[in-house]
Chains A and B, each alone.
Chain A
Amino acid sequence: MIYIKNYKIIFLIATFLAVYGCVEPYEFETETFEDALVVEAILTDEIKFQEIQISRTYRLEDDFPTAESFADVVVTDDQGNEFFFYEMTPGKYISNVEFGIQPQRKYQLLIQTRDGGSYSSDPTQMVPGNDIEDLYAERVVLQGEDGIALLVDSKNSETASKYALYEYEETYKIVSPIVVRSTIEFEGNNWRVVPNTKQETICYNTVPSKEIILSNTSALSSNNLDSFLVRFIRKDDPVLGQRYSILVKQYSLTGEAYSYYSTLKKISSSESLLSQNQPGFVNGNMYSINDDDEKVIGYFTLSEVSTKRIYFNYYDFFDFDEPRPKFPEDCIPFRPGELIETPIGMIQSGTVRFMNFAGAPVEGEIGEGPIRVVATECVDCTVYGTNEMPDFWKE
């Protein structure tokens, strides 16, 4: 929201309002809750234990969906094969056998819920896609922001699907800015300084993508994808600070599946202030057998999948005079309290870490306490990730 202090420029501001208006966050609570079955099923050509998630819709103010447990889940094909699924964890169903989706065959997902609901998908086919030919990083300025773009090239044959859905999984290395040799060990209320043996200097974190990324080559001159933007990372994002890796998965889509995901994306993305998309229920290919009016959410998606992973370091793209972004931005040691109980209490609560015992007050240092401490995240990178190197990681 734009607030105005200077009346001299009020008409200028008014002009902005005309163009930019005023958008502010809005507290919203579900007034009327609608319960519906939600199916997440992307089955691929890879021969593996396929996975299907079934949950229910949940209230806006809640954090997690309720799982749909004890459902009978089966995928059938047009040759009479049936692939049964079992519930591994609440709402997560895994196929009994390893199998991959085959082209030319029609599959159907059937779900029988515990409360007697019977659901089915439309018969669905897989359209083969093509491989990710190249995945690479490039330093660009995008809409005024300097950063790294992760781009995909993919050479598709004319017969392959023109539509694809992307997911990625990024993994980055975190290096703690401060290393401590000693740490404090507590035994009840007693404490003692011991050598620090924990590997907490180098960590890794893995994050899945959180947006729908779709490509469509139907408007392009050939069915080739060149420099397709999968992810953009701003220059000051600390994930770039050390070494970064991204795994991109490309799922081929049918035209209908593409239209489902793009509609989902369209109605849930930010929009122009003055023209709002008409929101509504996004029909997938699932429906209730017993009740025509019942809403069923989800698209039983069959895809050919192609994956690719790359690695790069900060200084592969940035000059040495460009300071690398760090996870904790500021790591300044300080000396809290006057008595030793104050820093010890803070250390015990986990907010700070022991560095060393301090002597006479030093000019410019914060506090005059007996122990010098620093924020935990400056020392312990496990705050941000895991200290176990992932299996795939290459230096």
Chain B
Amino acid sequence: MKIFTLLLMLFSCYFVFAQDPSKKISLELQDATLKEAILKIEGQSGFKLFFADEWVDRGHVTLSLQDVTLEEALQKVLANTPLNFYQLENGQVVITRNNIIYDRLPEGFFPKVDSLSTKTETTVVDSYNPIFYGPNKRSQTNIETVYIGKQDQAGGKRIYTLSGTVKNLETGEPIANLAILVRGTEIGTVTDQSGFYSLKIPAGTHILETRSFGNEDVQKRLLLYNNGSLNLNLREDYELLGEVMLESNPDKNVNNATAGEENINIEEVKNIPLILGERDVMKVAATLPGISTAGEGAAGYNVRGGKTDQNLILLDGAVIYNPAHFFGIFSAINPFTSGDMTIYKGHIPAQFGGRLSSVFDITSKDANTKEFAGEVSVGPVTANVALEIPVIENKSGIIIGGRSTYSDWILKSLEEESLKNSEASFSDVLVKYNHKFNDKISVKTTGYFSNDRFSITSDSLYNYQNLLFSLQADHKLNEKNTGSLLLSNSSYNFDIEYDSQFNNNFISGYRINETEAQLNMRYLHSKAHKFDYGISGKLYNVQPGEIDPLGAESIIQPFEIPQEKGLESAVYISDQFEVNDRLLLNAGIRYSLYAALGEKAQKIYEEGQPKSEATLVDTLYYGKNEVMETYSGPEVRFSARYFILPDLSAKASYNSTYQYIHTLSNNTTVSPTDTYKLSDRYIEPQRANQYSLGLYKNFDSNEYELSLEGYYKTSENILDYKVGAQLFLNENIETEVLQGKGRSYGLEFLLKKTEGRLNGWLGYSYSRSYLQLDGEHREEIVNNGEYFPANYDKPHDVSVVANYKVTQRFSFSANFVYQTGRPVTYPTGKYNQNGMEYVLYSDRNRFRIPDYYRLDLSFNVEGNHKIKKFAHSFWNISVYNVLGRNNPYSVFFVTDQGEIKAYKSSIFSIPVPTITYNFKF
């Protein structure tokens, strides 16, 4: 049998059908075995037929054929058997089992693929019905044959596991999100971050092919006898640089069970017009429906009507508290070291918890383990360098990325006195080391630091830092079980230095630190059930504020609010349950438990009275690590996908979430001096429930993706504050805090074109978000206790991101945004107090600032595509706010010299051109 297969392999690449029509065959068979029949055909036709005896020593063939061709004769004889045949050019015919050797391409490329059977790894071999998959347009060079495993004589098992790692041939970096398919079947998978893949394939001969737009496509002929591994090294496909790169999971949009999930490949971000030359993945995220910012240049993201503190932003598994530079004009995520980002805005997998609205899961690139590589970018505000350094070839590498502003000298060199003394600079650096011990064990560790300094008045200097560290160890225990241990620590702190003429100089600061250990396990129980389960514990340490005198003369009294501590732990389990071809469920439950820990002197207020010094009745003292208050609850994470048509699916989800940490801010937008407060006796955890329903459809072989999603969300214990509340350096925050309800709903529409010269997306969302603050006392009631629009309630939001490729090297990109103006509180009159005028404000957020719109354009030039050159360069010329629209950021009122004055502020009211230069080596 071996010889047949070998022959088959040698010749099957020539897909030419060479039938000899002249030979006619006549047969008369009565209850003959297949072998007899085949031998007769062989005799009459003069063709040599190859076959294995054990396949044909059976059967009862009764046939009568007159003057038929060889092909017809064989078809009749082999009908109702698992056997196929293939006619070779040189007059030989091979009888094969299971596989039909297709010798011509099907009509057209990308045939209608029946996605319903995507997951049916065919176990009933006899009913095997292969379909051509994917374009075979690229030249069919010789296909290398690979033997996997030894033939198992027992032959009981028909499905084997093939696994391996895919790497870049030149750099040795793992290639993630690469599609690996078994040709002619619906079996396929996608490599993970470390380039690893695993496939279950029926025994026999297959053609394994890789498909991506960033790397060459490779075909391997597999002879699969047993479980085994196959590592692949792929060349980068230079011709296609600058396109939307990968077609990973082309139908993921329709196929997976997660409602409200967005994926951003950071390479895609490259062509999108930039503000001041900074590539920014978070800004791109904000162009997707359901994700918005409070205003241009505002830090913080509002996801589906949630507050800005309700997003869990993870960088390689560690929380990043303030992912913003320059207030929020730039994001602190280094674009050159980031791999990709997944945003969960609807269904949040049970693995994640601790925030109500969303998870931004950002993973950094794995370093190149073969060759030194780097990327440099020079823009008007920052310079950016990323280096990939192999440490042990093919095993470990380190990636270092850093950027820094050089805008400081610009401010310094100015004539204007008030600007001369000001300062604004930022920098960030990321280091990641990845080490692969073997196919089963790999370790990754990441460190990240960001720093911002700015001063607006000459006597105060602000300073804030993020510092985080994570260590992840992945272990494949066996075929069915994998485990991942994640340790992380992150901290955020800010300092304010006040240095004036007088003796009240001080330095003041805030710091939060969290340490987390997480164990995530995956158990592939069967085709129908895949379990994820795990446990996590997180310890918070907060220094809620301190102030110290600056200089010997200062009369400021050192003051420190005692440290806050909290322990948040959780267990979860979820099952991806494939009920049938159409219905896929992802049902999970997470149980989280929070404990506020001492030591602390907890003030107790009279019940039913407004909390203030006047209603203080007692103070309870708790010792170190003593549990002061606990909160816990189950969080349901349920999502389902149902295929209505092969390329049309509906998804529904219900999610409930808990959040034990809250931002304290009485600003309408996020400020770097906002602090985080842990839940305690008086500040209860925030809770939310979200229901969502969506329809997903892909057109033209996944070239177009269309989705329509609706959601309804309710939340409780959302923090708000009394007007003018003093939140920093306040020991009794509970006296300033209000907790209320939130309600939001919306409809999101997204049309994406993923391929072609023109690609990009169009997003529209209609969404509303309301809050209700209806306390028991006068100062705890806002707008008479009725629901009012939240600061970030922007009903209409349209974004268009388009990229048009003129040639391989030149492309244009455009970005258009339209949003309803955000709600503001306007004066409804004025009044006098102590001889001065003051503004009487309307009910909260009763009015809106004018609508926001902006168009950005950019032109991109790729360097030439010679393979053997030192560096690959890329120019981006962009103009931000081409229309010069003076979009108001806010309107505010000031009492100056006893009189009211109104001002309007805007951030970028004129077109801002920028040129950036990047090169890769």
Residues of A whose CB lies within 8 Å of any CB of B are: 1, 4, 10-12, 14-28, 30-36, 38, 40, 42, 53, 55-60, 65, 140-144, 149, 167, 208-212, 219-222, 224, 226-227, 229, 255-256, 259, 262-264, 266-283, 287, 293, 295, 297-298
Contacts and interface: CB of A to CB of B under 8 A. Distances in A.
Contacts of A272: 456, 671
Given A266-B724, A270-B896, A277-B667, 11 more contacts: A10-B912, A18-B297, A21-B907, A30-B827, A140-B502, A142-B500, A221-B558, A229-B502, A271-B892, A273-B905, A279-B723
Given A15-B410, A22-B906, A280-B844, A55 B667 contact: no
B105 interface: no
Contact of B908 (A17, A30, A259, A279): A17
Interface string B892-915: 111111101111111111101110
Given A19-B326, A21-B906, A143-B458, A274 B671 contact: yes
Given A19-B454, A58-B830, A293-B784, A34 B905 contact: no
Given A19-B456, A293-B784, A33 B667 contact: no
Contact of B380 (A14, A57, A60, A140): A14
Given A24-B903, A32-B842, A281 B829 contact: no
7 contacts: A4-B910, A36-B840, A38-B833, A209-B835, A226-B503, A267-B839, A278-B844
Contact of B723 (A17, A27, A144, A283): A283
Contacts of B830: 57-60
B894 to A, nearest CB: 5
Contact of B827 (A38, A60, A293): A60
Contacts of B381: 11, 15, 18
The 9 closest A-B pairs by CB, nearest first: A263-B724, A210-B898, A221-B557, A275-B671, A11-B380, A280-B723, A26-B904, A28-B902, A268-B895
A278 B721 contact: yes
Contacts of B329: 18
B35 to A, nearest CB: 83
B424 A269 contact: no
B494 interface: no
B501 interface: yes
Contact of B838 (A27, A140, A264, A283): A264
Interface string B700-730: 0000000000000000000001011010010
A18 B557 contact: no
B326 A283 contact: no
B556 A221 contact: yes
Contact of B891 (A1, A10, A26, A219): A26
B501 A16 contact: no
Residue among A42, A259, A266, A275 with max Cβ neighbours from chain B (10 Å): A275
Interface residues of B, number: 98
B669 interface: yes
B724 A277 contact: yes
Contact of A55 (B726, B831, B910, B913): B831
A57 B838 CA distance: 10
A16 B424 CA distance: 9
Nearest to B418: A144
Nearest to A260: B724
A265 to B, nearest CB: 8
A278 B671 contact: no
Given A28-B902, A263-B723, A272-B671, A19 B424 contact: yes
A30 B839 CA distance: 11
B276 A280 contact: no
A226 B549 CA distance: 14
Contacts of B501: 140-142, 149
Contacts of A140: 501-502
B905 A278 contact: no
Contact of A34 (B411, B421, B840): B840
Contacts of A267: 723-724, 839, 841
Interface string B812-853: 000000000000011111111111101111101011000000
Contacts of A149: 501
B110 interface: no
A56 B829 CA distance: 10
A23 B555 contact: no
Contacts of A208: 835
A270 B669 CA distance: 16
Interface string B262-300: 000000000000001000000000000000000001100
A36 B831 contact: yes
Given A144-B421, A219-B547, A268-B894, A210 B835 contact: yes
Contact of A31 (B424, B791, B826): B826
Interface in B443-480: 454, 456-459
A59 B895 CA distance: 15
Given A14-B276, A280-B782, A23 B905 contact: yes
Contacts of B418: 144
B668 interface: yes
Given A27-B902, A227-B502, A277 B834 contact: no
